[in-house]
Structure 1
Amino acid sequence: MDKKPVVLEIDLGLGLQSSDPQDPVSAVRSRNVPRLPTIVSGLRHGAKDDDVVAAVVHITPQLTVWQAEELGRALQAFAAAGKRVIAWTESFGELGPGTVGYYLATAADQIWLQPSGSLGLQGIALNVMTVRGVLDKIGAEPQIGQRHEYKTAAEMYTSTRISEPNREMTGRMCDSVTGQVVSATAAARGIQPDQVTDAIAAAPLSAQQAIDRGLVDRLGYRADVYRAIREEFGRPDDDDVQIRLVFAHRYARSITKEAIRRTRLGRTRRRPIIAVVDVQGAIVTGRGNRQLPFGQPQAGSDHVIAALRAVPQNDQVRGVVLRVDSPGGSYVASDAIRHAVLQVKRSGRPVVASMGALAASGGYFVSMAADQITALPSTLTGSIGVLGGKVVIKETLNKIGIVRETIGDRPATMFSPTRVFEHDEWLRIESWLDTVYDDFTHKAAEDRGLSYDVLEPVARGRVWTGADAKERGLVDDLGGFQDAVIATCRRVGVDLDHVQVQRFPQLPMLARLRPAESSESPAAAVLGGRPPGPLETLTQALGVDSFGLLTVPWRFDFS
């Protein structure tokens, strides 16, 4: 009897995790949530499997722009192999924005929409905010300097309005991503770009209007979608149409298990490794803290450097993908990680940086020394600038009846939050900001092979989308994580199918719980940092993140 045709399912209603969990607790909490890299792997293997005929994607509102681009590229490659892609949703937004979900749907051959649904193809917006008004009300005085006009993370604390440079920069980021959506839609749907912009101006559209404008193919419910799939791809079996539905992430795991089994049986030799090293979250010195119950993780420089230092110790590792999703943070931590990247390169192993949603300021600093930088079109990157200072809270404490005084010599109290900077102290802060900016820009120019006169005008703290950054020489290629892995394989002369792509160093879960023997043990790369303090937990919960000299506002929020 013939095998049933296989249709891979991607149900975004299950959630979507961008990377593997970094500790046992997170692993347990997210055990049923599909990983984006696993889904992409499933699509890649399915494209070469004659039994796999199609993929069906259930699109839900929780998707981010960069996830849509990463998954969309994988679906396009799947379709290019002669497989069918069907996307369906209850609604692209419900009287609200649905642009991101539709952006992903443009990778499909056929788009279904529930008859009662709508198409909120309304372009892209970014939310920015300042908290200076709140600080004024509670008697807090921010004293923060910035280099230069586009380093608007400082503006969040120092200004009661959105500055013109901030408005210009943010507007350009929105226009860049909207332009990507328009281009993708026009190309996929076979219509003109001005027809897409007309649809955006008229949105939200009813389901029938979406059909009439050529943006959706068919109207129906889930049952109708799956009935059509069975009729198109199924094989009759006793008057019933048979297909085999498999989640793409489950399919990928079955392929991985088979590869492991064959290796254990000795049928395949040990394959070379492409090591994946994560820089996820705010960059801090030390090991960082990955136990915060709220907010984003931290990328401790000791943790990242230990992983990079372990690479030359393993002859099986041929190259490194540095996966960066970070708003930046500490200048010295970022510089230390960049130095470790250079050390890996000196060992003869290429390093390719793969930028996720955000790789700006310190996130760009750690990436810029890589042999190649790959970013998604919507990645927010650049922000080559610096900020620093403090918030004085003496009056705030007085208002609530707390008396606090820092006692010591004048130099020892310079950074006390209970007194303002004296004039000469502020001049020293300004001088330090100039020094850091000069170091950042000159190293960026050197790493990117640009003259300083070309690099500096596109620095000045300005955030660029990946598409705009490529035009200005700040990144090399547009693509996702899979593209970065392929680029690394190409540099070392191996085929993707003949390597192991793994987070590095790869340690069993129990080994992660044991103490490391030294700072150079592989286990040192997975050691957790200190537990969070009460103030740190509170500020993360309130959405007021601490920052280092190289930071962009973490809470850029595309909608």
Structure 2
Amino acid sequence: MGWFIYLLALIGAISLIALIIVATIGFSTARARNRISGNTILEIDFGNGLVETNPAGFINRFAGKGQLQIRDVVSSLEFAAKDRRIKGVIAHIGGGPFSYADVQEIRNSVIRFKDSGKPAFAFAETFGEGTQGNTAYYMATAFDSIFIQPSGELALTGILSQSQFLKGTLDKLDVGPEIDAREEYKAARNQFTETKYTAAHREMAQSIINSVREVFLSDIAEARGIDTAAFSKLIADGPFSAEDALKLNLVDALQYRDQVYNRIKESAGKKTRFLNLANYIKRIGIPRASGKTIALIYGNGTITQGRSRVNPLTGETVMGAQTIAAAFRAAIKDKNVGAIVFRVNSPGGSYIGSDMIWRETVRAKEAGKPLIVSMGSVAGSGGYFVSMSADKIIAQPSTITGSIGVVSGKFVTSGLYNKLGVTFDRVFTDLNATTYLSETSYTQEQWNYLQKTLDRTYKDFVTKVASGRNLTLENAYKIAKGRVYTGKVALAIGLVDTLGGFPEAFALAKKMIGLREDKPVRIKRFPKQKTFWEQIFGKPPENSDDAEIYTDENMSIIDNGLLNRILEGLEMPALQNRLLLDTPIIR
């Protein structure tokens, strides 16, 4: 019996030793796989575009489109500039699409990376193929060298802004838009009531693209060593073949991807390794600085009451006022949070929802926590409403902002229903019970009430702008009128404080809490992102803040474009008090 026990013990010992060996080999392999070579070139692929943030929803984890988060790119380039193992960066630009403001954020980060003395290369198969290549090329010009496939083209064709008008469609459907706005530049109304630009709308749209073009020309001309006036004339002759682009010094070489990579290897050394951005982020980890914390709150998408929502298939987000307000309350309550950076990328939406969020921004300041707003590609109308009382507002030169105004009304669908043979009858206790009914027109009394509502909402908006931005009420009314501005113009008229993006926002937050710019701090996201397991097995919320702070996954916000707008209009009292920006397509 003793020999049997001895045998079992021997087998157990051998098994234990084998397990330790396997674990050691696995650990060593993992470490080797996670190492960063001392001669690494960082790869960044912009082919799928840029997003502010990837929602953390359960379905979205499996339906991601591989889009880069702007802050990931910015912070990684900042870290890589100081990382001695990283010898340079190669970016695949792709076709975008990119907003001009997002490109400016990335360009600034690339330029700061180059200031470290490390080279930066950009490669694209083409800058446009039957489409404009303005923004893709704009991004590429921040890099030291631009390579393009010989068969590609450079589709520089000037900047265009286009708006969609649905009045003709509504007329054919016999749907009547009974909508009004404050004031003449509030163009969100025009898409339903006009067939083309009004004089004010056209003048505003032209001024926006002129401002965007001015910065676009200046930045590219400086990067390529071309006179700005000469470059301005050059664009008029676009688009260009890759060969012509090379002759004009707009690109540096005509090469395929393999040739570009071989060229980099020859320059950096045969032992050069390439590492993509996602793996670089995993391997460097997240710095866990001690001491002061800066809260980061994202406000993305159209503003609504209720909780934030995301479509897990399209990635489209809705900024729920309850979620953002609860995030602010959590940041205010957190004793470690010294300041708050609020990243706003929104065309506006609900007046009530915007006002809910605005109130929490004021409470943050009253609690002694400096609030810095960093605007993304668009922060207009309600997007500006939630930003206006921050201690400091930062925007890119081509951020679309302003639009201080309001639009409200409804679509009268009785004509369409008559065509379809659908009739309605109704009883009510009071005449104004029909105010928000889409099957009836406004009575004169109801229309008068709508005008009072517009006046009251507009006055509230402008008054808060004057207070938040330290403007006279007269000047605030002069700036308002529903007019949209670029970040560059907004700086000149006092709607923003400085130009920049994430780095400038965090640097300013540090300064406002008494820290040196080079002092590390912890960046903490609010609202807290649920982990995979929390989404499945998480405990139920303890209170209303816990319930409101998370983002829902909701397939109902899929946008079907024109058809969706028409169908929504059939039951639409939904333009009530909308701080909504008509966001033009700027190419």
Give the TM-score of the pair, scaled to structure 1.
0.91
- Contact 2:403 / 2:581 at 8 angstroms: preserved in 1? no
| Shift in CA distance, 202/539, structure 1 to aligned 2, threshold 3 Å | closer
| Shift in CA distance, 540/480, structure 1 to aligned 2, threshold 3 Å | farther
- Contact 2:410 / 2:575 at 8 angstroms: preserved in 1? no
| Shift in CA distance, 112/293, structure 1 to aligned 2, threshold 3 Å | closer
- Contact 1:99 / 1:122 at 8 angstroms: preserved in 2? yes
- State the Cα deviation string for residues 330-351 of structure 1 (Å, max 9, x = none): 1121111111001011111111
1:526 aligns with 2:550: yes
Shift of residue 18, structure 1, vs aligned partner: 2.5
| Shift in CA distance, 292/41, structure 1 to aligned 2, threshold 3 Å | closer
| In 2: Cα distance, 1:20 partner to 1:126 partner | 28
Shift of residue 297, structure 1, vs aligned partner: 2.1
Shift of residue 295, structure 1, vs aligned partner: 8.4
| In 2: Cα distance, 1:86 partner to 1:531 partner | 39
Q: 1:404 aligns with which of 411, 424, 428?
A: 424
SS at match of 1:134: helix
Shift of residue 20, structure 1, vs aligned partner: 2.9
| Shift in CA distance, 328/195, structure 1 to aligned 2, threshold 3 Å | same
- Contact 1:406 / 1:416 at 8 angstroms: preserved in 2? no
Give the corresponding residue for 1:117: 152
- Contact 1:331 / 1:549 at 8 angstroms: preserved in 2? yes
- Contact 2:491 / 2:497 at 8 angstroms: preserved in 1? yes
Q: 1:182 aligns with which of 214, 217, 221?
A: 217
| Shift in CA distance, 43/127, structure 1 to aligned 2, threshold 3 Å | same
1:219 aligns with 2:251: no
Matched residues, number: 540
Shift of residue 35, structure 1, vs aligned partner: 2.3
Q: 1:481 aligns with which of 502, 505, 512?
A: 502
Shift of residue 528, structure 1, vs aligned partner: 2.8
Q: 2:493 aligns with which of 472, 491, 499?
A: 472
Matched ranges for 1:150-161 at <5 A: 150-161=185-196
For 2:511, the aligned partner's letter is R
Structure showing greater radius of gyration is 2
| In 1: Cα distance, 2:93 partner to 2:426 partner | 55
| Shift in CA distance, 229/541, structure 1 to aligned 2, threshold 3 Å | farther
SS at match of 1:311: helix
| Shift in CA distance, 506/33, structure 1 to aligned 2, threshold 3 Å | same
For 2:528, the aligned partner's letter is Q
Q: Please give the root-mean-square deviation of Cα atoms over the aligned residues, in Å.
A: 2.3
Matched ranges for 1:108-257 at <5 A: 108-234=143-269, 241-257=270-286
Q: 1:321 aligns with which of 341, 347, 357?
A: 341
421-430 vs 15-24, which moves further: 15-24
- State the Cα deviation string for residues 508-537 of structure 1 (Å, max 9, x = none): 42335543110133x53115388749xx87
1:454 aligns with 2:490: no
Give the corresponding residue for 1:264: none
For 1:489, the aligned partner's letter is K
1:498 aligns with 2:515: no
| In 1: Cα distance, 2:540 partner to 2:92 partner | 43
SS at match of 1:107: coil
| In 1: Cα distance, 2:408 partner to 2:348 partner | 13
Q: 1:517 aligns with which of 531, 539, 542?
A: 542
- State the Cα deviation string for residues 218-258 of structure 1 (Å, max 9, x = none): 12111121111111111xxxxxx12121113321232225x
Q: 1:98 aligns with which of 119, 124, 133?
A: 133
For 2:471, the aligned partner's letter is L
Shift of residue 496, structure 1, vs aligned partner: 5.9
- Contact 1:386 / 1:551 at 8 angstroms: preserved in 2? yes
Shift of residue 481, structure 1, vs aligned partner: 2.4
For 1:75, the aligned partner's letter is V
Shift of residue 13, structure 1, vs aligned partner: 2.2
| Shift in CA distance, 14/284, structure 1 to aligned 2, threshold 3 Å | closer
| In 1: Cα distance, 2:560 partner to 2:110 partner | 41
SS at match of 2:165: coil
Q: 1:61 aligns with which of 95, 102, 120?
A: 95
Q: 1:284 aligns with which of 304, 313, 316?
A: 304
Shift of residue 363, structure 1, vs aligned partner: 0.5
Give the corresponding residue for 2:73: 39
Give the corresponding residue for 2:16: none
34-43 vs 127-136, which moves further: 34-43
